[in-house]
């Protein structure tokens, strides 16, 4: 499907945001099988159980992320914090990770996970990924895992990533894509498939 | 999933936002059984997907990609 396809015509932006917000607020925990599928045992050994149980990403972008010590890194849609914790360990105490999410519940989980991991270089920030509440050129690296597809305006999200990155900054993202051939309309309009 | 872009659209939007050196580093097919690992996919929607999506597509209804890019080094200021 494409953005000009059926899905875009059938759902309003505000409706999509509300569906996603409600669905993620209701999530208690995911299957440990999901984290076990995406992350190595060595990675999972470095993060608290609460973050493992809250993993909802679609890939392991950190495997490919060139994270330098001392970086200021933005985790776009941090969720329960598994990627925030792993990234913060790699930036080291000289760097820090800004964990952004539009749900205060998720930010609390990320803060708890960072504290349990003994990290003092994580800042939680509540905000919309379509209007990132950070200054221009203020971060070195943006990471995100399975979040951009949830936004009604993807171009706006990517423009915001570009705005907050310094020139030459890095973006490392895992996200879901679909084939050109669209799924049936009954599926495209089901709330669960907008949040999932 | 319903809001996901095609890979081509995703890359185009990255380019338009000013990103360069765009590389797709991983592509992992995602089927209905993979969706079932996520609590966001309720049993009723999984059943609906199994009913409405042709069997030959059920193992790859989407693809998880990992993409890396850099922001153009040109500073407009």
ipTM, 2 decimals? 0.91
Q: What is the mean pLDDT of residues A124-128?
A: 97
Q: Does B17 touch chain A (CB under 8 A)?
A: yes
Residues of A in contact with B1 (CB under 8 A): 149, 176, 178, 183, 193-194, 196
Structural domain including B45 reads 7-71
Q: What pTM does this model have? A: 0.89
Does the distance separating the beta carbons of A1 and B45 come in below 8 Å? Answer: no
Task: Return all residues near B72 (Cβ < 8 A) that are at least 6 apart.
Answer: A167, A168, B18, B19, B20
Do residue A175 and residue B39 have CB atoms under 8 angstroms apart? no
pLDDT tens for chain B, 77 residues: list them. Answer: 778 999 999 999 999 999 999 999 999 999 999 998 888 888 888 999 999 999 999 999 999 999 999 998 775 54
pLDDT, residue A20, reads: 74
**Residues whose CB falls within 8 Å of the CB of residue B16, separated by 6 or more in sequence, listed in order:** A155, A158
Question: Taking CB atoms and an 8 Å limit, are A64 and B26 in contact across chains?
Answer: yes
Structurally, how many domains does chain B consist of?
1
Q: What is the pLDDT of residue A29?
A: 65
Inter-chain touch A176–B73, beta carbons under 8 Å: no
pLDDT reading at A181 higher than 80: no
List the one residue out of A20, A44, A46 whose CA is nearest residue A32: A44
Say whether A3 and B9 touch across the interface (CB within 8 A).
yes
Mean predicted confidence (pLDDT) in A72-78? 98
- Whether pLDDT at A53 is above 50: yes
Give the whole-angstrom CA distance, residue A64 versus residue A78.
Answer: 18
Classify residue A71: in a domain, yes or no.
Answer: yes
Which residue range forms the structural domain that includes residue A135? 6-195
- How much is the average pLDDT of A120-143? 97
Residue A124 lies in a domain: yes
B2 inside domain: no
* Rounded-to-integer distance, Cα A121 and Cα A176, Å: 29
The verdict on residue A1 lying in a domain is: no
- How close A84 gets to chain B, by Cα (Å)? 17
In whole angstroms, give the CA distance from residue A127 to residue A147.
13
What local confidence, expressed as pLDDT, does residue A140 receive? 98
Domain count, chain A: 1
Q: Can you name the residues that pair with A142 across neighbouring β-strands?
A: A74, A171
Write down the mean pLDDT value for chain A.
Answer: 89
């Amino acid at each position: 499907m494409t953005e000009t396809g059926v899905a875009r015509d059938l759902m309003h932006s505000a409706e999509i945001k509300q569906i996603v917000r409600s669905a993620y607020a209701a999530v208690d925990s995911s299957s440990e099988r999901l984290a076990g599928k995406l992350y190595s045992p060595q990675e999972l050994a470095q993060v608290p159980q609460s973050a493992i149980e809250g993993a909802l990403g679609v890939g392991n972008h950190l495997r490919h992320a060139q994270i330098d010590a001392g970086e200021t890194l933005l985790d776009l849609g941090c969720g329960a914090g598994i990627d925030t914790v792993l990234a913060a360990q790699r930036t080291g105490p000289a760097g820090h990770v800004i964990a952004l999410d539009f749900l205060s519940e998720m930010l609390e989980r990320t803060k708890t996970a960072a504290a349990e991991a003994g990290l003092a270089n994580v800042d939680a920030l509540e905000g919309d990924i379509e209007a990132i509440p950070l200054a221009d050129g203020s971060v070195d690296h943006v990471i995100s895992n399975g979040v951009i597809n949830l936004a009604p305006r993807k171009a706006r999200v990517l423009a915001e990533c570009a705005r907050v990155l310094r020139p030459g900054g890095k973006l490392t993202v895992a996200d879901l894509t679909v084939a050109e051939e669209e799924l049936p309309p009954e599926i495209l309009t089901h709330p669960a498939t907008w949040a999932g | 999933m319903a809001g996901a872009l095609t890979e081509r659209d995703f890359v185009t939007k990255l380019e338009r936002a000013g990103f360069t050196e765009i590389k797709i580093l991983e592509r992992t097919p995602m089927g209905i059984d993979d969706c079932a690992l996520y609590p966001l996919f309720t049993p009723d929607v999984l059943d609906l997907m199994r009913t409405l999506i042709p069997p030959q597509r059920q193992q790859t209804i989407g693809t998880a990609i990992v993409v890396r890019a850099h922001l153009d080094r040109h500073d407009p200021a």
